[in-house]
Amino acid sequence: MYSDLIVESGADLAQDTLGTLLSILRDGQPRTRAELVQLTGLARSTVSQRLDALLFHRWIVPAEHAISSGGRPSTAFAFNPRARIVLAVDLGVTHARLAVTDLSGSIVAERTCDVAIAQGPEPSLNWLLETFTELLAGCGHRMADVCGAGVGLPGPVEHDTGRPVNPPLMPGWDGFSVADWLGSRIGAPVLVDNDVNIMALGEHSAAGPQTDHLLFTKVGTGIGCGIISGGRLHRGARGAAGDIGHIRVPGSEVVCHCGNTGCLEAVAGGGAVAARLRAEELEAADARDVVRLVRAGNTWAIRQVRQSGRDLGLVLASIVNFFNPTEIVIGGDLADAGEHLIAGIREAIYGRSLPLATQWLNIRASDLGASAGVTGAASMIIEHVLTPESVEQSIRS
Amino acid sequence: MYSDLIVESGADLAQDTLGTLLSILRDGQPRTRAELVQLTGLARSTVSQRLDALLFHRWIVPAEHAISSGGRPSTAFAFNPRARIVLAVDLGVTHARLAVTDLSGSIVAERTCDVAIAQGPEPSLNWLLETFTELLAGCGHRMADVCGAGVGLPGPVEHDTGRPVNPPLMPGWDGFSVADWLGSRIGAPVLVDNDVNIMALGEHSAAGPQTDHLLFTKVGTGIGCGIISGGRLHRGARGAAGDIGHIRVPGSEVVCHCGNTGCLEAVAGGGAVAARLRAEELEAADARDVVRLVRAGNTWAIRQVRQSGRDLGLVLASIVNFFNPTEIVIGGDLADAGEHLIAGIREAIYGRSLPLATQWLNIRASDLGASAGVTGAASMIIEHVLTPESVEQSIRS
């Protein structure tokens, strides 16, 4: 029994050691071998062996000569963010944004394109692979340099398996294993999540770790929310957390396509606002047209966007009481209407939420805008790639 | 610069080593010195030194003689849950429950008493100290054996400082440092939180770690919610998370004491239900009287409790869409009305929440009942006391 335990824990030991060393070195400050021995309490031979492996696989690089108190200077080592690159994509229904980043999340190359996700998974993903291959070539890289990919999709995703689950806007994608299909072709792990979750990760990485509890709300045709609790993405029991589009707006009886009445999406989404403008003989097919009218100063459009903000704010007011976020970030097509939407949201939240919960609450438009998705997709896969398990595996393989 | 770093990290090193050893030993399985060296990758001298300190302070005990392959048998060491005891108290407005537990959370002694929290903090806490002293004596312990106390209070608490914040039912307690006052008298750390949060911790520790996302809803005169996200208590930006009593119930215009209309508490709380029963000439001062009438089979009382469940369910339905919990546990005085309340809650949630979010959702009455609070208060302080920082400090002092 004991010997089983010890054999099994050989890998654990190696991983724990790597994890300890990486977590120290990832802050970017170079450290000597002696410092690492002292900082970790690990045996000198263990530290040396792990450093050699990390050096050999370029996870770390010799950085500078540290000043030692007499004798010859010792070499210091630093984490190497250019050791590998990752692919990040925010795949929308009609548009896609692709990025290649290093391990610090800095964007090396980026591209936005039109795409028709409705053509099904294989044509869409083949197109994605070709476009990534071009993008890599343009910045002097090959697919072999890629250590992982983060993918955002416009529908519900089972994160653990990387498969869409009954996605309403993605015909043919239900249950298709995006992670396996892409992973086997790029030869590296692929993590998949819905677009709102990766945007929340992106906004959180931009806001900084002191923003513990962040809600990212995307207001487009649909309305969804990405939730950061205690610095971590809250996906919920079935990955369905943040699906606020069908929460009832108090007082509304509008019939929603889901069969219920008063759903937030049917009351305050971009399509609902556009429909109200069409009823006033204005030309508005979707949220983008609404934004165009608002920017042109159309009073009726401004009035409707503000009302959409108030209705969204009524639902967020309940969520603020329940969740007590540090910050609420608003993004999505309708957010481009600017302060009119945010003003309506603030009005309702401050009118209805508890004083303690709103005292320091920051409600603002997204800083990252259209880049939030790829920023978050990159951050999601980088955190995975830099786990001790993954680094250990890259060294063994 | 480097030498500063290394001096500062001396304590970190010791803590990390302790943390590693304790996390291995807390599973209860005895390990020999050689196994611990192999499991941790730490230098043999480091492991020996830390084990000696842990043994000296009784955090671990020699457990059994492991079978070695020839030579004399080696001593194995195991975590000692009886190394210290903790105090746990769930202090209500009129009742208190006190417990003494070991470091596994097993209750050694327990007592429930009447108490008048409105007499202010010092008389209440002096009474608490005296009662704990008696309880300790009764089970053969002294205050010197106590390594920490967990306290639940019936109002908002700033957890980091252990102070109530404008607690409506606790006159004189606003800003009083319960943690400092008690901590200096028992000579050990004290953690304080509101009653609903400690109950959520208790229910989560009873439900087991596979229940990642749990909501505990307390339905008494007031209504509040404790939130577990990813196995951890979600307190929110200002510790106000879970304050759902003033979320608006769709369709209701009842005026609440807070000045808003349609607040959940004013519609579905024990006081509101009792008031509706009094309007029908029934004798019902509070939630307990309502439960008495329900148990006696009074049709009107049953009807009102079920309606209270439906109204609560309407608010929880929105929260289920947003949060996608694994489990919702219902407690508090009105929960003693049994399945009538839960049936109303289920009816509204299944009628309004998204199918994906309710597919595996478990909605049930509390198993722990009145013990949830002390169970959670003990669990909160035990997790704190067994952090490497705390164990290290106990060894140094």
The pLDDT tens digits of the residues spanning B70-94 come to: 556 678 999 999 989 999 999 998 8
State the average pLDDT over residues A264-274.
95
> Could you tell me if B174 lies within 8 Å of chain A, comparing CB atoms?
no
Smallest Cβ distance to A237: which of B317, B326, B354? Answer: B326
Question: How distant is the alpha carbon of residue A352 from its chain centre?
Answer: 30
Task: Indicate the pLDDT class of residue B8, thresholds 50, 70 and 90.
Answer: very low
ipTM of the modeled complex: 0.89
Same domain as B216, residue B348 = yes
Most A-contacting residue of B323, B327, B352 (CB-CB within 10 A), to test interface: B323
Q: Residues B176, B273: one domain?
A: no
> With an 8 Å Cβ cutoff, are B321 and A39 in contact?
no
Query: 3-state SS string over chain A?
Result: CHHHHHHHHHHHHHHHHHHHHHHHHCCCCCEEHHHHHHHHCECHHHHHHHHHHHHHCCCEEEEEEECCCCCCCEEEEEECCCCCEEEEEEECCCEEEEEEEECCCCEEEEEEEECCHHHCHHHHHHHHHHHHHHHHHHCCCCHHHEEEEEEEECCCEECCCCEECCCCCCCCCCCCCHHHHHHHHHCCCEEEEEHHHHHHHHHHHHHCCCCCCEEEEEECCCEEEEEEECCEECCCCCCCCCCHHHCECCCCCCECCCCCECEHHHHHCHHHHHHHHHCCCCCCCCHHHHHHHHHCCCHHHHHHHHHHHHHHHHHHHHHHHHHCCCEEEEECHHHHHCHHHHHHHHHHHHHHCCHHHHCCCEEEECCCHHHHHHHHHHHHHHHHHCCHHHHHHHHHC
> B240–A35: do the CB atoms touch at under 8 Å?
no
Q: Cα–Cα distance between A248 and A236 in angstroms, integer?
A: 20
* pLDDT value for B183: 97
Give residue-wise pLDDT tens across range A233-251: 999 998 999 999 999 998 8
d(CA A147, CA A200): 23
**Cβ of residue B234 closer than 8 Å to a chain A Cβ:** yes
3-state secondary structure of A296: coil
* Contact residues, chain B, for A238 at CB < 8 Å: 324, 356-357, 359-360
Per the model's pLDDT, the better-predicted residue between A9 and B204 turns out to be B204
Whats the size of chain B, residue-wise?
397
Contact B357 A38 (CB under 8 A): no
Exposure letters B9-45 (e unless 16+ CB within 10 A, then b): beeebbbbbbbbbbebbeeeebbbbebbbbbbbbbee
Does A230 contact B232 at a Cβ distance shorter than 8 Å? yes
Domain count, chain B: 3
Phi, psi of B156 (to 5 degrees): -65, 140
B225 and B351, same domain (yes or no)? yes
Contact A360 B240 (CB under 8 A): no
Residue A198 lies in a domain: no
Partner residue facing B6 (CB), from A35, A236, A326: A35
State the pLDDT at residue A65: 53
pLDDT score at B72: 60
Strand, helix or coil for residue B305: helix
- Local confidence band at B14 (pLDDT 50, 70, 90 cut-offs): low
Claim to verify: residue B271 and residue B124 sit in the same structural domain: no
Give the per-residue pLDDT at B1: 34
Check A213 against B230: CB less than 8 A apart.
no
* Residue A219 and residue A324 in one domain: yes
B136 lies in some domain? yes
**Domain boundary residue, one of B52, B79, B106:** B79
Same domain, B73 and B112: no
User: Does residue B113 sit in the same domain as residue B158?
Assistant: yes
Report how far Cα B249 is from the mean position of its chain's Cα atoms.
28
Residue B359 lies in a domain: yes
CA distance A310 to A347: 7
Q: Establish, for the pair of chains A and B, how many residue pairs have beta carbons separated by less than 8 Å.
A: 198
Whether B194 maps to a domain, the answer reads no
On whether residue A196 sits in a domain, the answer given is no
Chain A partners within 8 Å of B243 (Cβ)? 321-322, 324, 354, 356-357
Q: What percent of chain A has pLDDT over 90?
A: 68
**Position with higher pLDDT, A298 vs B57:** A298
- Residue A236, chain B, CB below 8 Å: the answer is yes
Distance from CA of A207 to the nearest CA of B (A): 15
Residue B30 corresponds to which tokens in the numbers above?
């005895």
Residues A232 and A293 in one domain: yes
User: Would B203 be classed as within a structural domain?
Assistant: no
B13, pLDDT greater than 80 = no
Q: Taking a contact as any Cβ pair under 8 Å apart, which residues of chain A between 100 and 119 contact chain B?
A: none
Q: Nearest by CB to A41, which of B17, B165, B322?
A: B17
Option in A234, A240, A318 nearest B357 (CB): A240
Amino acid in the structure at residue A329: V
Q: What is the CATH number of the domain that holds A285?
A: 3.30.420.40
Residue span of the structural domain in which A184 resides: 85-188+373-396
Residues of B in contact with A67 (CB under 8 A): 2
